[in-house]
Structure 1
């Protein structure tokens, strides 16, 4: 079978990298002061973070269904099937919308993978899908294999500010205010079901890195039985400050064999 792979920009895969991989990345839309932008299409990373000032009104949304349909219909003229790997259904309605759209078009030829991935883990799923295509797997087999391994990852997210969690409705204003006063920097994780939850807290950026490394070392031993991470992928996604990402990458390399670093435009 000739199989196409599509995903969204929540994977951190740039449009340029998508071309190199031979896949399609559907950009996630968002608005800043009522002007609509699309990740990695009509706004640069620097411009995005420059716009994140306290007075800015920012809203995120999912791609329009007609945009996805147009992309898929075009691909189905050339390919036998499509494997679509969206942002986890626990954080966005994008996945459920894709499932509904696929059933309207052709649910046999369009396989939606809901394996609860986001960011670097979503990107790894895309790379795994490409490998499975090379191995001769069908689209439905790829979906089944990727979903069977939906819990084979852990994600930890360190935040320097609570402002955007408050703006997005994930924190009440009172909790956000208390956190800001006490200078608390939360470390979040993706829990079972693909939802975002608080893992621990720190008071400094160094403390955030320390807590993330500690958690990854424990997971490598207890969850994956792989203390040195020989059979694991470790990735650092950064938001607006590559230097901080590289610092964490270098610290992780002291504990694990290989650590990748990727750009992720974190509007969601």
Structure 2
């Protein structure tokens, strides 16, 4: 059985990974003033940050509408036995709702709420694509992805909070105070929501090394198959600090490095960096 895996562009997987795994993404819209762009196609985080710096203008992101999803799904529904679309978490966007409205008219298309965003969502997409390539059927893939959605751990360290403030997700006074005191908060995806966890203080490179140690050290509950490093215009030395910490507190069989796209990058801002891992699946009773 031929199964096609698709996802919203918020999965933030590299073009190379998407091509290698035969994954096709649906771009979200990015609004820069009066201009409507497509995430990962005509818009990058660099373009957003340059626009904000030069014009002081506003930006936002928007989901594809049901008709756009229907047109996106239709060729795959015709050419494959089943299509599994892994959506950005329903708590973050109307993408999942709109995709499900479109899929209602396509019997072999199933939309999965990843309950996550960025490479937390991307982790699920990769697992589904690997299973599809290995010949797994849609029911087996769906069961695995639904279970994995509750085990993925997505977190980031933010270098600055002004972009989170612009998006309305962080009070301006908090952003100002954090930047002034060089506080680097860790943001985690928990139960389908982004929540602030531990706050680090000091140079970002030092904070990043400590953050990765706390995410990985002495843990026996992690699935050591895959870890993903995600970053948005990282500061010098930060990716290297993550690599070194992962090597020390790993090992993982695979480590992918991806750039955060314009939809998520526009909220978290430049200098953001994090890791995505998953806990082991619970052992099944025999």
Matched residue of 2:174: which SS? helix
Give the structure 1 partner of residue 283 of structure 2. Answer: none
CA-CA distance at 1:57 after TM superposition: 1.1
Measure how far apart 1:212 and its partner are. 1.9
Alpha-carbon shift at residue 254 of structure 1 (Å): 2.2
The 3-state SS of whatever aligns with 1:7 is strand
Q: 1:14 to 1:252 in 2, by over 3 A?
A: closer
TM-score by length of 2: 0.80
Q: Which moved more, 1:55-64 or 1:45-54?
A: 45-54
Residue matched to 1:129: 128
Distance 1:206 1:16, change over 3 A: closer
Deviation per CA, 1:209-256, whole angstroms, max 9, x where unpaired? 1342133125x616x1x5xx6x24221111013743233223322221
Which deviates more, 10-19 or 28-37?
10-19
Counterpart CA distance in 1 for 2:171 and 2:194 is 15
Mind listing any 5+ residue stretches in structure 2 that lack a counterpart? Answer: 265-286
What is the deviation of 1:93?
2.2
What is aligned with 1:116? 115
Q: CA deviation at 1:73?
A: 1.0
Determine the C-alpha separation between the residues in 1 that align with 2:232 and 2:28.
16
Change (3 A) 1:248 1:52: farther
- What residue number does 1:257 align with? 251
The whole-number CA distance in structure 1 between the counterparts of 2:81 and 2:96 is 21
- Greater shift, 161-170 or 239-248, is seen at 239-248
Structure 1 spans left out of the alignment, 5+ residues = none
- 1:147 is matched with which residue? 146
Aligned equivalents of 1:166, 1:235: Cα separation in 2: 26
CA displacement, residues 196-216 of structure 1 (integer Å, 9 cap, x when unaligned): 000111223134313421331
Partner SS for 2:70: helix
Contact (CA 8 Å) 1:89, 1:95: kept in 2 or not?
yes
Q: Are residues 1:97 and 2:98 paired? A: yes
Matched residues in 2 for 1:233 and 1:83: separation? Answer: 21
Structure 1's 232 and 116: CA in aligned 2 closer, same or farther, altered over 3 A? farther
- Whether the 8 Å CA contact 2:124–2:149 is kept in 1: the answer is no
SS at match of 1:50: helix
| TM-score, normalization by structure 1 | 0.85
2:26 matched to which residue of 1?
A: 26
Q: Give the conservation status (yes or no) of the 8 Å contact 2:4–2:83.
A: yes
**In the TM superposition, what whole-angstrom CA distance separates every residue of 1:132-161 from its partner, at most 9, and x where no partner exists?**
224443323322221022222212211111
User: Shift of the alpha carbon at 1:15?
Assistant: 4.4
Change (3 A) 1:67 1:19: farther
Structure-1 residue corresponding to 2:201? 203
Whole-angstrom distance in 2 between the partners of 1:72 and 1:63: 12
Partner of 1:64: 65
User: Aligned match of 2:192 in 175, 191, 194?
Assistant: 194
Residue 156 of structure 2: SS of its match in structure 1?
Answer: strand
SS at match of 2:186: strand
More strand by share: 2
Q: How many residues of Structure 1 are paired with residues of Structure 2 in the alignment? A: 259
Q: Classify 1:172/1:43 alpha carbon distance in 2 versus 1 (closer, same or farther; 3 Å).
A: closer
Structure 1 SS opposite 2:42:
coil
More deviation, 59-68/194-203: 59-68
